[in-house]
Amino acid sequence: MKIAEPQQNPADTTTPKARVYAMLDTDGDGVASRHDYFVRIERAQQASGRGDDDPLVIAARATGERAWAAMDSNGDGVMTYQEYVAWVDADKFDNVCQYALGAMFDLADADRDGALGRAQFTSLRQALGNAADNADAAFDALDADGDGRVGRQEYLASIRAYITGDASAMGDALY
């Protein structure tokens, strides 16, 4: 019996979900695997310079485990684009994704004040798979008051907006 190959990325890569999914597929093989998902956490850890025993690294891994378990509901170690599109929505963001993304934000927040400067933001977004130029433009889009900082809540709200199809200047800049 032949096992069906996972369906690859969509032909139309211009939708927000397709763009985010492409970023989740860190090795570019057409499916987001468990390895793809967790390498992003490893990169964020490395960018922050935190050790394996740092409580924020432990928290990022734990929230990542919960998020991956929810996304890979059939437990096969991969999440196809079709599975991702069927899964991700505002409820999943609010109850799963925001915690995993927030934990990675916390890794980058060196002084633990709930905000990132441009360098921290760019480093985090590069660890997550965005180009430095895109991350820089996204920072500018989020730093509406020009104080040189992006808060955790506005960061997460902008990602939520992008995923759910609402206006998101940060999302548009990142992808």
pLDDT tens track for 30-86? 999 999 999 999 999 999 999 999 999 999 999 999 999 999 989 999 999 999 999
Does position 9 have pLDDT exceeding 70, yes or no? no
Could you give the C-alpha distances from 70 to 5, 14, 17, 112, in angstroms and in order?
22, 25, 17, 28
| CA–CA–CA angle 156, 113, 159 (5° rounding) | 10
Enclosing H/E stretch for 21: helix 16-24
Does position 95 have pLDDT exceeding 60, yes or no? yes
State the pLDDT at residue 14.
76
- Report, as an integer, the average pLDDT of 99-103: 97
State the pLDDT at residue 10.
54
State the pLDDT at residue 132.
87
Please state, in angstroms and rounded to a whole number, the distance separating the CA atoms of residues 42 and 49. 10
For the chain, domains (ranges, CATH) are 16-169 (1.10.238.10)
Please state, in angstroms and rounded to a whole number, the distance separating the CA atoms of residues 146 and 38. 33
Please state, in angstroms and rounded to a whole number, the distance separating the CA atoms of residues 158 and 139. 11
